[in-house]
A and B are shown apart, each in its own frame.
Chain A
Amino acid sequence: MNAFADQLLVLVMLINLVMLGTSRLIFSIRAVAVQGVIIGILPGLIHPFSGHLAAITVVMILAKGVIIPYLISDAVRKAQIRREVEPFIGYVPTLLLGAVFTAFSFVFAEKLPLAPEHQDLLFVPASIATLLTGFLILTTRRKAISQVIGYLVMENGIFVFGLLLTEAMPVMVEAGALLDLLVGIFVMGIVINHISREFSSIDTSRLRALKEE
């Protein structure tokens, strides 16, 4: 089972790179959804079966694979945009940066010793690489929706690491964290609608009235 889990984790890291290379927003949203579904499947592979685990899998796939992507594509539809235009840093340089970050996350993971039963699993590098990819999207893209996608990728990275602990974490905390994420995305969706109404675009580089002179 561990080998299969590792393959899925590699897939997560590949999706990161795909997301850095594309300008089509709907495509990015689907990629995040696929990533979310993979994250939902993973805990079943490394932990023994239990009711708690099944619940987590179902809720995770529902939230990250269905509800959140739906909320964001709804915002995309309402704002009537298809593509990210002119990111602050081009697609090829960000792809290269993403590759460098992935390599760096493997170096970083070397320093953190995993428990014996998790040895040789790629959870730590996959988590850090996804987190950094999220950061990269968040900082280099202009559209508010791209930034929300970046935030989601970052959250995915955090959840990848959290999967190691699904057995040990109390349900209440997990549920609370997911709910907060959902509400956060929902509020962001509303804010995006207001931005597009106010500025007739969701280009966040136009948000520059508040600055120090």
Chain B
Amino acid sequence: MLNALVLLPLIGALCAWIIPDNRLRPLVLPVVATVHIILTALLLGNAPPPSPGGWIWLDPLGKIVLLCISLLFAVCAFYAVGYLSYRQERSNRVLCMGLLVCLSAMGTVTITQHLGLLWVALETTTVSMAPLIYFNHNARSIEATWKYLLLCSVGIGLALLGLLFLAYSTYVAHHDATLLLAPLMSSARDLNPAWLHAATIFLLVGYGTKMGLAPLHAWKPDAYGEAPGLVGALLAGGLVNCAFLAILRVYQICLASGTEILFFKQALLGMGLVSMAFAAVFMARQADFKRMLAYSSVEHVGILAIGLGLGKGALYGALFHLLNNGLTKGVLFLSSGNIHRSYSNKTTDVVKGALTRLPWSGGLFLAGFIAITGSPPFSPFISEYTIVSSAFIDGHYWVGGLFLFFLVVVFIGMALTVLPMVMGAPPTDIAPSDYEDRLLTVGPPLFMMMIILVLGVWPPEFLVTLLIDGAAMLGVQP
């Protein structure tokens, strides 16, 4: 069943390649996504035991990320059918294939216990997303694609060196190099500290670049700003979470080593706070609303890093936030894609009164903004509250204080862009567009918004158990 998770999207990609018709081709996406989400549901309920070699095992951490990716992809897949019907002038073959290959690679990331295989899958996600950022084929999007491809490739290259260092440290310790998680963790105490330290630094920088932690986030605003809305949603909710899972694996090894974890936590806290600070500064008066969402993503990977850096109770919050951030970013990117389509513009100079012109998309964008800034009753409020309260309980007053301060600044900065966009009267002098809110472009994000609301009000029991199991793997006593 785990193989199906990887192979099914690849078969879908093959179908997308073969189908000649531009209208029929996007239909492959929802078909694959539906089967994928059924598979995910079955696997969450009853995951197979680790494979004999120990390479493949869907552990609770992998399950949380898989759940997020599968949900997000399903929503994006249905949305894509509606979205691409407006873009018939362009061939969508590469887009459909890229999305499916990326889904397969993301699935591999979640089920593997071998850090080398994880690296290969993560690099595949980077390469398969590059042509999708270039979907609009103009000067701005080629610039964004170039920056994304080069920076992420370099970052992930550094992570490879970190992995090799890690493998070599096991070779020095007991002449049997391995990159499997279980043996790495059991022998972590015997590893040479110098090698382990070097490995940790390279891995953090490498995967941090891919995740977009400041100050390694330079590619993010451009790529998110120029990519179509649904690609942005998958970048912000899918790829970010895959990179975060890679960092969680490093965290597990550092935790098992006993000594390296102190440094790793400090580094994560530092990078997390810097990310939030960067986001707070650049979010203010950001005229381009897609770039604003990119900075919001920088802020939220910062929150994830802080949750991980604080440890203890905050780990539950961080894992929950991974899910919440992914889904909420999905709502925001998809609805902003609709608004972009309707106004043919993505700056707040032109886009005004979205609630009047596009009641559904504008409303969803507003609701997404309220959710992502951490207002009740939506689920990001719960996860952010868990992290910040854990900071104060454990006596990290500075971290908790700064966290709250940045949240407030980000809220104000984001409100200054979002409120004028959705409120007021739409400008009268812009050309009418062929875009109007339809079931397929509004239904999927609306469905996701409902999930966020339900998770905030009444998180289902299986999810809570899953999150507790996940936090236990990161060293929290259940």
Contact = CB atoms under 8 A, between A and B. Distances in A.
Nearest to B143: A207
Contact of B176 (A144, A168, A194): A168
A173 B166 CA distance: 15
Given A187-B149, A195-B146, A210-B222, A165 B139 contact: no
Contacts of B144: 210
B117 A131 contact: no
A167 B175 CA distance: 11
Interface in A173-203: 173, 176-177, 180, 183-184, 187-188, 191, 194-195, 198-199
A55 interface: no
Interface string A155-177: 10110011011011110110011
A180 B123 contact: yes
For the complex, would chain A's binding face be called helix, strand, loop or mixed by DSSP majority? helix
Given A151-B157, A210-B222, A112 B120 contact: no
A210 B221 contact: yes
Contact of A168 (B124, B139, B167, B282): B167
Contact of B161 (A112, A161, A169, A173): A161
Interface string B141-155: 011111101100110
B472 to A, nearest CB: 29
Contacts of A147: 150
A158 B160 contact: yes
Contacts of A194: 134, 137, 142
B198 interface: yes
A151 B150 contact: yes
B160 A112 contact: no
B28 to A, nearest CB: 22
A195 B142 CA distance: 7
Contacts of B225: 210
Nearest to B195: A112
Contacts of A207: 142-143, 146-147
A176 B123 CA distance: 10
A165 B179 CA distance: 11
Interface string B161-181: 100110110011001111100
A162 B131 contact: no
Nearest to B226: A210
A177 B119 contact: yes
A168 B178 CA distance: 7
A114 B127 contact: no
Contact of A111 (B138, B154, B194): B194
A73 interface: no
Interface bracket on B: 35 or more
A140 B172 CA distance: 37
Given A161-B164, A184-B153, A191-B149, A168 B177 contact: yes
Contacts of A191: 130, 134, 142, 145-146, 149
Given A191-B130, A210-B225, A180 B124 contact: yes
Interface in B279-296: 282
B192 interface: yes
A165 B143 contact: no
B153 A113 contact: no
A19 to B, nearest CB: 17
A138 interface: yes
B116 interface: yes
A154 interface: yes
Contact of B117 (A165, A176, A212): A176
A170 to B, nearest CB: 7
Nearest to B131: A187
Contacts of B131: 187
B146 A198 contact: no
Contact of B116 (A111, A151, A173, A210): A173
A208 to B, nearest CB: 8
Interface in A48-78: none
A204 interface: yes
B143 A144 contact: no
Contacts of B137: 194
Interface string B193-227: 01100100000000000000000000001100110
A1 interface: no
Given A158-B157, A184-B149, A209-B140, 17 more contacts: A113-B192, A113-B194, A113-B195, A115-B171, A151-B153, A162-B160, A165-B168, A168-B176, A169-B167, A177-B123, A191-B142, A194-B142, A198-B139, A199-B139, A210-B140, A210-B147, A212-B221
Interface of B: 114, 116-117, 119-120, 123-124, 126-127, 130-131, 134, 137-140, 142-147, 149-150, 153-154, 157, 160-161, 164-165, 167-168, 171-172, 175-179, 192, 194-195, 198, 221-222, 225-226, 282
30 contacts: A113-B195, A135-B154, A144-B146, A151-B154, A151-B157, A154-B157, A158-B161, A165-B164, A173-B114, A173-B117, A173-B119, A173-B120, A176-B120, A177-B119, A177-B160, A180-B120, A180-B123, A180-B124, A184-B126, A188-B149, A191-B142, A198-B138, A198-B142, A199-B139, A207-B143, A207-B146, A209-B140, A210-B140, A210-B143, A210-B147
User: Which 7 pairs, one residue from A and one from B, show the smallest C-beta to C-beta distance?
Assistant: A168-B177, A176-B120, A173-B116, A207-B143, A180-B123, A210-B222, A158-B161
